[in-house]
């Protein structure tokens, strides 16, 4: 059913996301839909959660794995994994970036950011970055901003290898300055 939701979202947009259509695409009845999800909001929330967990989980693992690398290498690894995670969930990424904002706010984005910022903050602190918690939030939100803009202007942006380079340059350039600030 989540797959059907995604498909409807991609093909017809958020405005056309009706429970009837989702059920139809999923090959079940509306009644069955309501046996698994109490209401439409829950359906969308589940989709968000799934995306959220995929991306956040993998990125958190990357942050963890990068703990002992030098800062530049750590950033490169994390950014690479983040992009890979989005690439592996490209349909979701596109649907959510383009139209799921229209479905119940962007609070989940904030939540995802917070979840990543904390462990990243620790990593940065260990790497000698000043005010590491703030720095982590800046890094995460700037990267998300660039990716969002890229996806909006080109749905295939995630396949562009240059994007990773830019993001690493962006993050490292910022952190470099922050490190000197120590």
Partner DNA sequence: AATGAATGAGAGTTCATTCAT
Partner DNA sequence: GATGAATGAACTCTCATTCAT
List Cβ neighbours of 5 (8 Å cut-off, separation of 6 or more). 17, 22, 43, 44, 47
Which one among 75, 109, 129, 136 touches its own copies, defined by CB under 8 A? Answer: 109
Which one among 40, 58, 77, 125 touches DNA, defined by CB under 7 A? Answer: 40
Which two three-digit tokens encode residue 159?
């396949």
20 binds DNA (CB under 7 A): yes
Which one among 41, 64, 67, 156 touches DNA, defined by CB under 7 A? Answer: 41
- Spatial distance between the Cα atoms of 9 and 98, rounded to a whole number of angstroms: 9
Tell me which stretch binds its own copies (CB under 8 A): 17-25, 28-36, 80-88, 135-143.
135-143
Q: Which of 100, 118, 120 is nearest to 109 (CA)?
A: 100
177 binds its own copies (CB under 8 A): yes
134 binds its own copies (CB under 8 A): yes
């Amino acid at each position: 059913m989540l797959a059907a939701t995604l498909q409807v979202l991609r093909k017809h947009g958020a405005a056309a996301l009706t429970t009837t259509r989702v059920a139809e695409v999923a090959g079940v009845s509306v009644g069955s839909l309501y046996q698994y999800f109490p209401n439409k909001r829950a359906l969308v929330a589940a989709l968000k959660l799934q995306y959220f967990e995929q991306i956040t989980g993998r990125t958190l693992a990357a942050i963890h794995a990068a703990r002992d690398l030098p800062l530049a290498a750590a950033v490169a690894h994390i950014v690479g994994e983040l992009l890979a995670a989005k690439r592996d969930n490209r349909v979701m990424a596109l649907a959510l970036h383009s139209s799921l904002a229209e479905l119940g706010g962007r609070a989940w984005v904030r939540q995802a950011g917070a979840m990543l910022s904390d462990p990243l903050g620790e990593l940065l602190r260990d790497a000698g970055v000043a005010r590491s918690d703030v720095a982590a939030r800046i890094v995460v939100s700037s990267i998300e901003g660039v990716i969002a803009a890229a996806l909006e202007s080109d749905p295939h942006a995630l396949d562009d290898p240059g994007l990773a380079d830019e993001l690493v340059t962006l993050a490292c350039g910022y952190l470099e300055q922050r490190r000197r600030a120590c």
